[in-house]
Each structure stands twice: as structure tokens, then as C-alpha cells.
Structure 1
């Protein structure tokens, strides 16, 4: 039986705060990027390896992720590499990398408690938050040709989830075999469970 809950995450000092909705358990048979399941994985590319990044991808980027702090995107630290389409965001104060986004930001007002699935009586309490509802175009080489395609990408660094939240124990994810491994470094191996690819980490 699957359950969907809202989870809090932040950088170390708390300047960056986000919430993410996750449906557990993830599918262990369908880990395709378009699958209707959360994805928990580690990648062996140089970017993720150097950052020590632990990927946690929600089912729906527009519906399942909001940034509640800081009040402007410009307050976030941002690193872009390769084609510079994906922003790897970090806190300018404590340096913690919290999430990566390949998409456009928009600021909206919503009732965060209702969004998180917490039933509270009384009038809605609207807050300004950031989310991404639109993707970007990226260009990749496929069979020796440059091909453009639309992409909407969001990955939270799972180690920035607040500890003590039921279902968000990273040790438990490993023990249950939910973490899979991606070969983005050589692009030769298929995604797999159990063992990292060359240059990757457990």
C-alpha cells in the first residue's frame, strides 16, 4: 500500500527551506524517468560524485515541490556546468547543496498546510512560495547528431531532508533496497540496484 506525505528539508543553517511530497514505496521494477514513482538513486558522473549528491526525485515537479525560503531565487547560490541548463542550488551561508532544477521558477501564493496534506480548520493561510511548472530545452548528442528535447528536471539532495520524519530515514531506504545506481559517467551500463557503477558510491 502506497502513502503520500509531505516532508521538510533545509540547508544546515536554515536559510534554504523546502517541502516535498513523496509517495512511498518507490517502484522497484519501473525506474524509468517517466515512471509514476519517486526515484531514489546515486549517480557516478563527476558533478554528483564531487558533490556527494543523493538524488531524490518526486513524481510531479509542479505538484510535489515548493521552496518556502529564501524569499527570492537570487538569494540562492547556484552552480551550472556542462550546458549550464541545470542549476545546482546551495546556501551562500553554510554551503549545503539542497536541490537541482532544470526548469523555470514562478512565485505563487498557496496554503502550505493544505498543500502538505495537513488538515487544519479555519481560513486558508496563504504564503508566497516558489515552484517550477515549466521545463527547458536541452541539446544532447544522439547517434552523432545534436538533438533538442524538452526536459523538466528536479532532484532534491536527500541528505538535506530533516531527520526524524517518518519514512525519511535514509538508512531504511538502503536496507529496503530502494536505492538504485545510474551510469551517467560512461553511459554504458543500465540502471541497477545493489551496486554502484564505476566511480560511483554506495
Structure 2
């Protein structure tokens, strides 16, 4: 039986704060490819490896993630590499890398209590940031193709633990975590142990 809940995350000093809606248990991709599921994984590419990034991706990026602080996106550190589509965002004060996002930031005003699943919010409307997809141009068989592209992954180590929070040890013990190969670009399927140069 699956359960859905909203979890809080932040950098170490608390300047960057977000909330993410997650449904557990996830469906491992090596059991059911393409399943609509939370994705919990570690990647062996040089970027993820050097950052120590522990990927936690919600089912619906548009609806399942809100950034509640800072109020201005420019206050976040933003590191981009390779195609420079994805911003690997971090706190400029404490240096903690909280999430990666590829898309467009969009500000919205919502009752965060209602969004987080409480039966009745307190009616307080707050400005938050959400992400939406971008159109990107690619080429296939010599033809230009425009398609939507959207990516968001929070660094699971920045989720709050303890009572009502997440338990990363539990994720490992229950076999929810998997590993992907992006260093060699060999097209290997996800597996339950790290690939070459990957980390547990």
C-alpha cells in the first residue's frame, strides 16, 4: 500500500527551504521500466559524484515541489555544466547543494497548508516558486525537433529527518535506492549496486 506525504527540506543554515510531495514505496526501475514512481538513486557521473548528490525525484515536478525560501531566485547559487540546462542550486551562505532543476521558475501565491495536504489551510497565502517545463530544440535524422523538457531532483540528504521526516537508512534497507550509469554513457540499465566509480 502506498502513502503520500509532504516533506520539508533545507540547506544547513536554513536560508534555502523547500517542500516536496513523495509517494512511498517507489517502484524500482529495474522491476518496472517507465513506472510513475518516486525515483531514489545515485549517479556515477562526475558532477553527481563530486557533489555527493543523492537524487530524490517526485512523480509530478509541476505539482509536487515548491521553493518557499528565498523569495528571489537570484539569491541562490547556480552551477551549470555541460549543456548548461540544469541549475545545480546551492546556498551562498552555507554552501549546501539542495536541488537541481531544468526548466523555468514561476512564482505563485498559494495556501501552503492546503498544498501540503492539510484538510483546511489557515487561509494564509504565501509566495512560492514552482518550476515548469522549457521547450528545447534537438535534432533527429537531420530534422529539428522542439519538445518540452523538465527535470527536478532534490538532494535527499537535505530532507528533514527525525519524527515525521525521512529515514535514508530505511530507504537503503528496504531496497528503494538504485544506481545509474552516466559516466561511460554505456546505456546500462539501473541496478541495485553502484556502477564503476559510483558510491554507496
1:169 aligns with 2:167: yes
Equivalent of 1:188, from 183, 186, 193?
Answer: 186
Moved more, 157-166 or 186-195: 186-195
- Say which SS state the counterpart of residue 192 (structure 1) adopts: coil
Compute the displacement of 1:42 (Å): 0.3
Task: Note the alpha carbon deviations across 1:23-81, whole angstroms, 9 max, x for none.
Answer: 0000122353xx31100000000000000000000000110000000001000000000
Which residue pairs with 1:200 in the alignment? 198
| Distance in 1 of aligned mates of 2:56 and 2:195 | 18
Structure 1: segments with no counterpart, 5+ residues = none
Could you say what the CA RMSD is over the residues aligned between the two structures, in angstroms?
2.1
Q: TM-score, normalization: structure 1? A: 0.90
Which residue pairs with 2:50 in the alignment? 50
Q: TM-score, normalization: structure 2? A: 0.91
| Distance in 2 of aligned mates of 1:175 and 1:151 | 33
1:102 touches 1:136 (CA, 8 Å); kept in 2? no
Deviant stretches of 4+, over 2 Å: 28-32, 119-122, 133-136, 142-150, 189-194
Compute the displacement of 1:120 (Å): 3.5
- Say which SS state the counterpart of residue 66 (structure 2) adopts: strand
1:38 touches 1:56 (CA, 8 Å); kept in 2? yes
1:8 touches 1:17 (CA, 8 Å); kept in 2? yes
| Distance in 2 of aligned mates of 1:64 and 1:107 | 15
